[in-house]
């Protein structure tokens, strides 16, 4: 793990940002305060309904069962599950035991899961027998001492009597290892301590707008933000928990009316897929979409403006698995800041820009390193700064705007093209719901821009001539115009909904080789 400068440790402790409370202690305190809050899984595969008290009892029975099988504080417990009740039980049980929780996105395949299990060497692993394209493969976890499979033998892990305690844990020690969502060749294991994760949970909870307690959570709990939103913040606030194991806009719209559930943002796709669905009606659904906290991917101005015009209060944020909450706007911030920037530095967070505009950050919610020491060495300096790899600008009021990623720049014949700039222009084109611009191989120029678009339902894909005419109308320089255009029904996505541009680049390059 990285060395955190002593001056920062003292400051974070003095400000109360870092406490001595472990993840298990925080959960036990919250669950005791609101035991009758509803816990519901909206699923066609494995629906469930009960209370937080019911799930805590299962979690404590699981904790007793795992403890009897040798799981001790500091051991890793991994799970690969959809947004089901059993995922909460594993997460809470691990925290009570002082174990390090390793959530794995449920649609990761054998290669990714095998890599993760080899990297963390868990004492126990809980997965599902099958869900969608996911199916349990015994060989992938052959070296794990304790394995439980929901739908087959998970209940065998539960002891008859619940474990009543919370194991002591070093607040500076690992609490969660969250693997990044697949935008690199191999997942990166990001390690958060009890105090970094505790601070992130508290500060994110305090920034939630009012009247959103009954929100539906579809972000996979194997992903960092889904995990916090599902298993930590509601417990801290005494709220009900409503999970969905798939993102189905029609089902979500129906639950807004039948159960009064809310949707409050996420990646832009979550909001636009609801607005574009034929079942959407402003009078029935907008009252359940009063706020839209957007982040986790590039946030196009075309989307924030569209939402604001419908009366939705939009606010943006910026962070990553490594540093979850770097900047953000309050719901009370001026509209121009909320719509057009990624917010200002959050409490305790410091940001600075390198000579090339790269963003460096540090703060009490910054992770303590990677499972791979070489990645830790490259990403952090001795003063505690994290190299984000993102490019941004700061305005005169200290609000940050992400302009690109270093790896998201297309170099066409020596000319740098910002993919984000071209995407923003394409999103202003009628009928275009999403756009991604990536580098395509070019024998003459080295690289050229390729556009991939998803149109709204029942809208035909634009032709390349129509795209060029639009880009000329909006004044985008000709050297930035994409030289090829592809239409898709949907994009390959990470667990958090981000478009996996490396897959788009690969597919376009393979197509070019075939041609």
Give the mean pLDDT of 112-126.
95
Give the mean pLDDT of 321-338.
95
Q: What is the structure's pLDDT at 182?
A: 40
- Of 414, 410, 364, 418, nearest in space to 392 by CA: 418
Which residues, 6+ apart, have CB-to-CB distance to 287 below 8 Å? none
Alpha-carbon distance of 253 to 269, in angstroms, equals: 15
pLDDT band at 109 (very low <50, low <70, confident <90, very high): confident
Would the pLDDT of 134 be above 50? Answer: yes
Give the mean pLDDT of 171-180.
95
Would the pLDDT of 413 be above 90? Answer: no
Strands 386-394 and 400-405: antiparallel
pLDDT band at 476 (very low <50, low <70, confident <90, very high): confident
What six digits make up the tokens of 477? 């320089």
pLDDT band at 412 (very low <50, low <70, confident <90, very high): confident
Q: What is the structure's pLDDT at 108?
A: 83
Q: Write the pLDDT tens digit of every residue in 297-321.
A: 667 888 899 999 999 999 999 999 9
Alpha-carbon distance of 265 to 338, in angstroms, equals: 13
Rg of the chain over Cα atoms, rounded to whole angstroms, equals 23
Residue of higher predicted confidence among 509 and 360: 360
Q: What is the structure's pLDDT at 298?
A: 67
Average pLDDT, the chain: 93
- Of 302, 334, 337, 335, nearest in space to 318 by CA: 337
Q: Write the pLDDT tens digit of every residue in 42-92.
A: 999 999 999 999 999 999 999 999 999 999 999 999 999 999 999 999 999
Alpha-carbon distance of 243 to 55, in angstroms, equals: 13
What six digits make up the tokens of 141? 């976890």
Q: In this predicted structure, which of 131-135, 185-189, 339-343, 375-379 has the lowest mean pLDDT?
A: 185-189
Residue 314 bridge partners (DSSP): 292
Q: What angle do CA 368, 190, 82 make, to 5 degrees?
A: 140
Give the mean pLDDT of 492-508.
88
Q: What is the structure's pLDDT at 185?
A: 57
Would the pLDDT of 181 be above 60? Answer: no
Are 484 and 509 contacting, i.e. CB atoms less than 8 angstroms apart? Answer: no
Residue 431 bridge partners (DSSP): none
Three-class SS of residue 248? coil
Are 481 and 471 contacting, i.e. CB atoms less than 8 angstroms apart? Answer: yes
Give the mean pLDDT of 209-218.
87
Q: Write the pLDDT tens digit of every residue in 357-378.
A: 999 999 999 999 999 999 999 9
Q: What is the structure's pLDDT at 101?
A: 98
C-alpha distance from residue 41 to each of 73, 180, 241, 246, 385 (Å): 29, 25, 8, 11, 40
Question: Structural domains in the chain?
Answer: 18-217 (3.40.50.980), 290-405 (2.30.38.10), 413-514 (3.30.300.30)
Q: Write the pLDDT tens digit of every residue in 275-299.
A: 999 999 999 999 999 999 998 766 7
């Amino acid at each position: 793990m990285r060395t955190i400068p002593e001056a920062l440790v003292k400051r974070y402790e003095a400000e109360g940002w870092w406490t001595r409370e472990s993840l298990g202690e925080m959960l036990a305190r919250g669950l005791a305060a609101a035991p009758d809050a509803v816990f519901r899984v909206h699923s066609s595969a494995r629906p469930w309904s009960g209370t937080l008290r019911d799930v805590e009892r299962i979690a404590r029975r699981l904790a007793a069962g795992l403890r009897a099988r040798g799981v001790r504080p500091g051991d890793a417990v991994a799970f690969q599950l959809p947004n089901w009740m059993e995922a909460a039980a594993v997460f809470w049980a691990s925290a009570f035991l002082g174990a390090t929780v390793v959530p794995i996105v449920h649609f990761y395949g054998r290669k990714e899961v095998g890599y993760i299990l080899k990297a963390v060497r868990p004492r126990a692993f809980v997965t599902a027998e099958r869900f969608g394209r996911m199916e349990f493969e015994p060989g992938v976890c052959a070296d794990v001492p304790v394995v439980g499979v929901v739908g087959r033998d998970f209940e065998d892990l539960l002891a008859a009597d619940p474990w009543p305690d919370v194991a002591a844990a070093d607040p500076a020690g690992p609490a969660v290892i969250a693997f990044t969502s697949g935008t690199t060749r191999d997942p990166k294991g990001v390690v958060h301590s009890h105090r970094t994760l505790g601070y992130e949970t508290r500060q994110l909870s305090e920034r939630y707008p009012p009247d959103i307690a009954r929100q539906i959570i579809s972000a996979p709990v194997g992903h960092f933000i889904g995990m916090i939103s599902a298993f930590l913040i509601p417990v801290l606030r005494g709220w009900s928990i409503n999970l969905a194991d798939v993102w189905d806009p029609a089902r979500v719209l129906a639950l807004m009316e039948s159960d009064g559930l809310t949707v409050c943002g996420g990646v832009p796709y979550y909001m636009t897929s609801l607005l574009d669905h034929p079942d959407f009606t402003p009078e029935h659904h907008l009252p359940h979409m009063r706020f839209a906290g957007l982040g986790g991917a590039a946030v196009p101005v075309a989307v924030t403006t569209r939402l604001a015009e419908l009366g939705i209060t939009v606010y943006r944020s910026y962070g990553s698995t490594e540093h979850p909450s770097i900047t953000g706007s309050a719901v009370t911030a001026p509209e121009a800041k909320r719509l057009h920037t990624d917010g200002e530095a959050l409490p305790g967070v410091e940001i600075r820009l390198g000579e090339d505009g790269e963003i460096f950050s540090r703060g009490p919610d910054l992770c303590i390193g990677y499972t791979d020491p070489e990645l830790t060495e490259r990403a952090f300096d001795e003063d505690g700064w994290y190299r984000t790899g993102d490019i941004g600008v700061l305005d005169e009021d200290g609000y940050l705007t992400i302009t690109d990623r270093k790896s998201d720049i297309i170099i066409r014949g020596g000319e740098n093209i910002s993919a984000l700039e071209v995407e923003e222009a394409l999103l202003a084109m009628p009928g275009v719901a999403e756009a991604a611009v990536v580098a395509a191989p070019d024998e003459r120029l080295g690289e050229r821009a390729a556009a991939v678009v998803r149109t709204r339902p029942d809208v035909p894909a634009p032709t390349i001539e129509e795209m060029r005419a639009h880009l000329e109308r909006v004044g985008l320089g000709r050297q930035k115009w994409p030289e090829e255009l592809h239409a898709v029904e949907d994009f390959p996505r990470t667990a958090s909904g981000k478009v996996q541009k490396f897959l788009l680049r690969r597919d376009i390059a393979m197509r070019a080789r075939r041609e």
